[in-house]
Amino acid sequence: MEEILADVFMRVQDVFEHGDRKNAMRFLLELAIESVPSESGSIYRSELSTRHMFFMAATGPKAEQLLEMNPRIPVGTGLAGFTVEEGVAIAIGDAHRDPRFCRSISEKLGYECRSMITVPMQLEGQVMGAIQLINRKDGTSFTEADMSILSYLAHEAAEYLRRRGDATV
């Protein structure tokens, strides 16, 4: 765990070298997937004015389709919406047993979600979005260590948005 955190700490500093926010968010998401081995993941951005979320980045077998769909998701809907609304991280071992799980997107994509971890991108009490990873690669549930790694990356994503003048949408 300490080695992974040290590696993430060193590498996350490169986020500002990735130019625009789309590339920066993709970099952070790829770092998350590498550090917490998962099948897929996404970064959601919340819009304060509309209370909706949209996808800033996605990776995995259905990522391209997801980004083409470009769904707008109400804050409070699904695990990511819960995380954004409440400002809390959540990990679940069986998505289909959790009443907060929103099946509509995974059904449209034909993608099975089993385990999920979602953490808020927040800074100084303001939640700007969330990072979500789906289906831990080894088939186990996400751990507290995974939560720590992802929470650090989410904080760095929020810091990136603030420094780029994109703290509120």
Is residue 137 in a domain? Answer: yes
Write out pLDDT tens, residues 135-153: 999 888 999 999 999 999 9
Beta bridge partners of 57: 43
Q: 19 pLDDT band (50/70/90 cuts)?
A: confident
The Cβ of residue 142 has, within 10 Å, a number of other Cβ atoms equal to 23
Is residue 169 in a domain? Answer: no
Query: What is the domain-level CATH number for residue 104?
Result: 3.30.450.40
Flag whether pLDDT at 169 surpasses 70: no
Write out pLDDT tens, residues 65-107: 999 999 999 999 999 999 999 999 999 999 989 999 988 888 8
Placement of tokens 């260590």 in the chain: 145
Is residue 77 in a domain? Answer: yes
pTM: 0.91
Positive or negative torsion for Cα 74, 104, 152, 21? negative
Of residues 39, 63, 57, the one with CA closest to residue 131: 57
- Domains of the chain: total: 1
Is residue 168 in a domain? Answer: no
Is residue 41 in a domain? Answer: yes
Is residue 107 in a domain? Answer: yes
Is residue 133 in a domain? Answer: yes
Q: Tell me how many degrees the CA angle 37-40-42 measures, rounded to the nearest 5.
A: 115
Query: Residue 127 belongs to what domain range?
Result: 2-163
Is residue 69 in a domain? Answer: yes
